[in-house]
Amino acid sequence: MTGRLEIDMSLVGNEAPDFTAAVVTADGGFDSFTLSEQRGKYVVLFFYPLDFTFVCPSELLAFNHRMDEFTKRGVEVVGCSVDSEHTHWAWRQTPVESGGIGSLNYSLIADLDKEIAYQYDVLHEEKVALRGSFLIDKEGVIQHAVINNLPLGRNVDEMIRMVDALQFHETHGEVCPAGWNAGDEGMKDTHDGVAEYLSKNADNL
């Protein structure tokens, strides 16, 4: 936007841009959220275009339906759009059968000045956020990011798979090949390791 400094950085592999913003909390109250205060936790930060729109409630409900899975993996989930916290609150009061989202088990961040969307490079035509999803590790580093255009709803199960892959790598020191799922074997990141893995699995990739 006019007057802003250009951000020249690759998000993945670097520290997540920090911010403090108003939120509607999981219990429906108002509070403040600072990303850097979440160090020591995994964080899934996801952006969506606007409250009271169309694809968005399906995504927010999909995240909510999987909160037990995120919680048992130690993940803090937060949603963010360019709406105010008061609009978030009103959307939570709207029943699902009327196009609302009802109560949620995670917080919604208010980004009314669009600064957070800008920092994460998901601001679309200076108006709304694209459907960006970011997996941030315990050190505050972005390990995974995916951005969908406005008409394309995301797959929340893929984010759970990415959390599993990150935690597997952190625990075992091995890398996760294509199509890896929890319970699958990993790959040693050496020439011998890839040869061993492909000799057993190449036909199933």
Please confirm, yes or no, whether 176 is among the known catalytic residues: no
Catalytic residue (one of 16, 21, 56, 162): 56
Measured at the CA of 107, the angle between CA 101 and CA 111, to 5 degrees, comes to 95
Q: Where are the beta strands (DSSP E) in 48-101?
A: 75-81
The answer to whether 109 and 17 have CB atoms below 8 angstroms apart is no
Could you tell me which residues come within 8 angstroms of residue 60 by beta carbon, excluding any fewer than 6 positions away?
A: 48, 79, 101, 104
Dihedral sign (CA 14, 205, 73, 75):
positive
> Would you say 33 and 18 are in contact if contact means Cβ atoms under 8 Å apart?
no
Residues with a known catalytic role: 56
